[in-house]
């Protein structure tokens, strides 16, 4: 059951600031701006357009009829010259250089942290608002880290240069953080999460288009009795589960797990919330699953939790115990909404202050491209 209830901003437990009609509309996943190519729209650049998220940027921009007066498709020198059709026109991919951002209003970046660190500030200096999908700026205290349904007020001070604004960077959170907090934040606002334990089951798409291609190739090879090709992960991915491929840190956690810890605290503006995570790669193509155990400051029963989530924007509940029907990565693939199910009281607690959830979301869409475009919509 998907709620169409209008979303009202909340920041933790404080009264929300007023929102413009346009900003309220941008938070409803089913709504679109409905304008597309128009003379008074912003100039938009897509950085890393030939990658998995870059291609998804274009799909989401088109499906949501995002307004633009002109569009620049940017990538590496290797990809320059490629032809990409978009909304009835054919665009030529341009090589990404500092001059690419001349006249650009909004730049959607998904070309890796190195490119973002190098050219993000260049775009800002030229007056662009950069929405960056990498980890380069997420923990910078001067850069808002935004999930539009969760903490839109974090970017309320940023305006397009044509609206008396100036260049700035807005960071897209990590995919696993976005998917988790979409399902958890509505409950957090009601009962205040004091501890969260997350186990993630992450898809190939999080490692890029090449990883998705290798998973498909390995699956065919293994079924044919051949040795699997292992270039991206250095081990068999098909029919397997293994610890996330990000670097291990001295504390025994990997970088992906610590992203979830640190980003949750920043987005919720709460350094006291206790978060721990275990992140795994599973052989799914483009959607993550996450098991979440929550401990609350105040009591919260499962029926009330369902009522809260039914009203949450961008969330759909799939929680049919009789039919054993719950969210799956396959079921949410290519979908905008994050699905929540397996909602149940934590039986290890006797005080109604614990819940267990299962959350699934499309890593390329809400976990990356859709969230970034929603951020851009809030600038309009």
74-116: pLDDT as tens digits: 999 999 999 999 999 999 999 999 999 999 999 999 999 999 9
Domain enclosing residue 190, as ranges = 176-363
Say yes or no: 185 and 154 in one domain. no
At residue 236's C-alpha, the angle toward residues 235 and 238, to 5°, is: 150
Say yes or no: 202 and 269 in one domain. yes
With contact defined as beta carbons under 8 Å apart, do 185 and 148 qualify? no
pLDDT of residue 27: 53
Q: Are strands 43-47 and 106-109 parallel, antiparallel or unpaired?
A: parallel
Catalytic residue selected from 175, 180, 279, 360: 175
CATH number at residue 267: 3.30.360.10
Q: Measured between alpha carbons, how far is 49 from 57 in angstroms, rounded to an integer?
A: 8
Catalytic residue selected from 180, 244, 288, 360: 288
C-alpha dihedral, 181 to 15 to 172 to 103, nearest 10°: 160
Residue 121 has, within 13 A of its CA and on its CB side, a CA count of 7
pLDDT of residue 130: 98
Q: Grade residue 22 by pLDDT with cuts at 50, 70 and 90.
A: very low
Say yes or no: 129 and 201 in one domain. no
Say yes or no: 292 and 357 in one domain. yes
Say yes or no: 168 and 180 in one domain. no
Say yes or no: 226 and 345 in one domain. yes
Q: Are strands 94-95 and 70-75 parallel, antiparallel or unpaired?
A: parallel
Number of domains in the chain: 2
Is 11 in the active site?
no
Global pTM exceeds 0.75: yes
For 149-198, write each residue's pLDDT tens digit. 999 999 999 999 877 678 999 999 999 999 999 999 999 999 999 999 99
With contact defined as beta carbons under 8 Å apart, do 3 and 313 qualify? yes
Q: Around Cβ 267, how many Cβ atoms within 10 Å?
A: 21
Is 288 in the active site?
yes
pLDDT of residue 172: 98
């Amino acid at each position: 059951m998907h709620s169409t209830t209008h979303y009202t901003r909340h920041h933790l437990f404080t009264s929300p600031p007023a929102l413009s009609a346009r900003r309220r509309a941008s938070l409803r996943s089913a709504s679109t701006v409905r304008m597309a190519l128009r003379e008074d729209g912003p100039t938009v650049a897509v950085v890393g357009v030939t990658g998995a998220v870059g291609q998804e940027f274009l799909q989401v921009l088109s499906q949501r009829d995002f307004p633009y007066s002109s569009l620049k498709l940017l990538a590496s020198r290797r990809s320059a010259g490629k032809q990409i059709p978009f909304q009835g026109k054919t665009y030529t991919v341009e090589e990404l250089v500092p001059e690419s951002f001349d006249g650009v209003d909004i730049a959607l970046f998904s070309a890796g942290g190195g490119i973002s660190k190098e050219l993000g500030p260049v775009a800002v200096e030229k007056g662009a608002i950069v929405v960056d999908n990498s980890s380069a700026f997420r923990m910078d205290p001067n850069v808002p880290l935004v999930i539009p349904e969760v903490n839109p007020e974090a970017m309320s001070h940023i305006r397009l240069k044509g609206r008396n604004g100036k260049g700035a960077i807005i960071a897209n959170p990590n995919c696993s953080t976005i998917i988790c907090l979409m399902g958890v934040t509505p409950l957090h606002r009601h009962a205040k999460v004091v501890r969260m334990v997350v186990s993630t089951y992450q898809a190939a798409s999080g490692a890029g288009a090449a990883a998705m291609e290798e998973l498909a190739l390995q699956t065919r090879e293994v079924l044919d009795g051949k040795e699997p090709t292992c270039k991206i992960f250095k081990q068999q991915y098909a029919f397997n589960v293994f610890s996330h491929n990000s670097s291990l840190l001295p504390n025994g956690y990997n970088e992906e797990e610590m992203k979830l810890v640190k980003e949750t605290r920043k987005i919720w503006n709460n350094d006291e919330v206790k978060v721990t995570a275990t992140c795994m790669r599973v052989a799914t193509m483009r959607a993550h699953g996450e098991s979440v155990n929550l401990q609350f400051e105040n009591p919260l029963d499962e029926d009330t939790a369902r009522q809260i989530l039914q009203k949450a924007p961008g969330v759909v509940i799939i929680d049919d115990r009789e039919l054993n029907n719950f969210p799956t990565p396959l079921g949410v693939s290519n979908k905008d909404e994050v699905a929540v199910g397996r909602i149940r009281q934590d039986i290890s607690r006797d005080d109604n202050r614990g819940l267990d959830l299962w959350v699934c979301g499309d890593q390329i869409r809400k976990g990356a491209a859709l969230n970034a475009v929603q951020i851009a919509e809030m600038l309009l």
